[in-house]
Structure 1
Amino acid sequence: MKLFNLCCSVILIALSFFACGSEQTVTLKIGKPSTPNMPRNHYVLSLLEKSFAQMNVKLNISYSVEPMNTKRVLEELKHDGAINFAWLSMSKEQANSLVHTTFPIYNGLHSKRLLMIKQSRLGEFSDIKTLEQLKPFIALQKQSWSDYYVLKNNGLTVNGDLSYESMLKALDEGLGDYFPRSVTAIRAEIQKSPQYNFVVEPHIMLQYDNFYYFYANEKNKAIIDLLQQGLTKLAQKGELDALYTHFYHDVEDGLGLSQRTVFKLK
């Protein structure tokens, strides 16, 4: 009986995607961001819309009622709970029971971290030339974020006990020295908090392997298969690279990534 019900569910999913020639809708249930006022990820949303459109499928996105941090998102996905889809960076061990697409969402750009600091402290950071010199400075990072463990395991000093808003206040008040943020988001985050005199530190970049993919529970493999086909079509047309370039063409030059001192983390 259970096998019969499972087969019926798979058939219904397939029919909802491919019914006779007219455009269908797929609903992705994703976690509501746990960070208040987090900027919308227009690149990822555009990537999803265009990929499903290649398969003649319209995208509908719904968010969980309760905010979810990364740890909660992963748990809900694994248990096929309140959400059915996410984009994450994690190890093979963490991804057990999940399926994912094969195209790195950010082409590795998300593996690069810059430091958000107070403008008045630019002089202090200009003297830092090695990772050892950075280690006594206090980094701010949530303990539920993967970066927290990377920073700690590389011997950096990290305060992981604060909420996002509290981290901004701590940085402003000198209770933390720097806030490592992705090169894809750091400028937008600074712009969203104009009450603080924060800047992007201009010389240092932290880097470690960190590739994002789209994930779903094995029970929702049909969603990932459909998305993979759409991404493949975009890639074959050159539209995948074009979309990435459209959103991130100014990052390399605008943030001077090639001129920075790179601290490679394990």
Structure 2
Amino acid sequence: MNTLRRVSFILCVMVSFANYADEQLVIKLARPDYPLVQKNEYIHDVLEKSFAVMKVDATLLYNVKPMNDKRIVEQLTHNKAVTLAWLSLPGEIPDSLVRTTTPLYKGLHGKRLLIIREGDEATFHKVNNLDTLKQLIGLQQQSWYDYTVMKNNGLTVNGDLDYLGMIKALETGLGDYFPRSVLAIESELVKLKQFHLIIEPSLMLQYPSNYYFYLSKENQHIAELLEQGMQKLQRSGELERIYLHYFGDVEKRLKLKQRLTITLEKTALQ
């Protein structure tokens, strides 16, 4: 590309983004599939600040009814009820979709702590790698993604029980540990306070689970604006400040950086 053509290309890109920045965008989002949750505050904050830093007037609207991930992908693909979604999709990006490149949550959704019986701390103190963890019995439902990850990494897992059955198996010694998300484990233990269960204090399981913003290819220009906005926030440190505002206390309370991390791969290692 000669100098004149290169300059013309850059000017076209600049004009294109200037035009997009002048328009008012209406972004349709799926309501979180959780009872009584109206919106994801963290995601909402990232979106608002990313579009604002690009000087784009974006209105974020939520669907009346919540949707699961499968339904969201269908709606994104056809560019109907959902303009944009935050998802962790395994494998290749569907041909009909585009995504941003900056991960959301910093992999937090792939971090698991262990619910164990009170008094079993010494047993887990001896666990220092994947092989030693294989000697213990984990609990997980077969329909949950964590079950597949654990089995593919050679862990011993009982997947035949429902939720209450897993708690009872843990309490009675038929299982040794129950991995739960770092974002939910504290509130979960509050609901299980009648059982003698605790968060294992020194270990953390982790597998790749990165969330990104996904949009239909028809909304490529919105994806580009959002991508540039997120990169600006990242360079200024604002993206990190947003993350710490919502999740910094969780990292500190659960001492995530001080824990021994056992990494689980998504692909079969057997």
CA distance in 2, matches of 1:144, 1:262: 21
Return the match for 1:18 from 22, 30, 49: 22
CA distance in 2, matches of 1:194, 1:37: 23
| Percentage of pairs with the same residue | 42
CA distance in 2, matches of 1:105, 1:50: 14
User: SS where residue 245 of structure 2 aligns?
Assistant: helix
- 1:153-196, Cα deviation, whole Å (9 max, x unpaired): 1122445677xxx52x2333226654423334433444566666
| 1:260 equivalent in alignment to 2:255 | no
CA distance in 1, matches of 2:159, 2:219: 33
**Mean Cα deviation higher: 223-232 or 194-203:** 194-203
Structure 2 counterpart of 1:213, one-letter code: Y
Q: Extract unaligned runs of 5+ from structure 1.
A: 1-13
Deviation at 1:215, TM superposition (A): 0.9
Return the match for 1:174 from 152, 169, 179: 169
The aligned counterpart of 2:137 is 137
Is the Cα–Cα contact under 8 Å of residues 31 and 39 in structure 2 kept in the other structure? no
CA distance in 2, matches of 1:233, 1:224: 14
The aligned counterpart of 2:6 is none
TM-score, with normalisation over the residues of structure 1? Answer: 0.72
CA distance in 1, matches of 2:51, 2:191: 31
CA distance in 1, matches of 2:165, 2:262: 24
Is the Cα–Cα contact under 8 Å of residues 116 and 178 in structure 2 kept in the other structure? yes
CA distance in 1, matches of 2:61, 2:122: 45
CA distance in 2, matches of 1:131, 1:118: 20
Deviation at 1:16, TM superposition (A): 9.2
The aligned counterpart of 1:96 is 95
User: SS where residue 262 of structure 2 aligns?
Assistant: strand
| 1:209 equivalent in alignment to 2:208 | yes
Is the Cα–Cα contact under 8 Å of residues 17 and 26 in structure 1 kept in the other structure? no
Q: Which structure has the larger Rg?
A: 2
- 1:71-91, Cα deviation, whole Å (9 max, x unpaired): 443344334454332212234
CA distance in 1, matches of 2:52, 2:195: 41
User: SS where residue 28 of structure 2 aligns?
Assistant: strand
CA distance in 2, matches of 1:39, 1:134: 39
Q: 1:16 and 1:161, CA in 2 relative to 1: closer, same or farther beyond 3 A?
A: farther
Q: 1:181 and 1:232, CA in 2 relative to 1: closer, same or farther beyond 3 A?
A: same
CA distance in 1, matches of 2:31, 2:149: 23
Q: 1:25 and 1:83, CA in 2 relative to 1: closer, same or farther beyond 3 A?
A: closer
The aligned counterpart of 1:10 is none
**Mean Cα deviation higher: 75-84 or 254-263:** 75-84
Q: 1:203 and 1:236, CA in 2 relative to 1: closer, same or farther beyond 3 A?
A: closer
Q: 1:119 and 1:75, CA in 2 relative to 1: closer, same or farther beyond 3 A?
A: farther
Deviation at 1:206, TM superposition (A): 1.0
CA distance in 1, matches of 2:89, 2:258: 29
Structure 2 counterpart of 1:97, one-letter code: S
Q: 1:153 and 1:117, CA in 2 relative to 1: closer, same or farther beyond 3 A?
A: same
TM-score, with normalisation over the residues of structure 2? Answer: 0.71
CA distance in 2, matches of 1:119, 1:77: 45
CA distance in 2, matches of 1:81, 1:193: 41
The aligned counterpart of 1:183 is 182
Q: 1:64 and 1:196, CA in 2 relative to 1: closer, same or farther beyond 3 A?
A: farther
Q: 1:160 and 1:183, CA in 2 relative to 1: closer, same or farther beyond 3 A?
A: same
Deviation at 1:99, TM superposition (A): 0.6
Q: 1:134 and 1:156, CA in 2 relative to 1: closer, same or farther beyond 3 A?
A: same
The aligned counterpart of 2:154 is 155
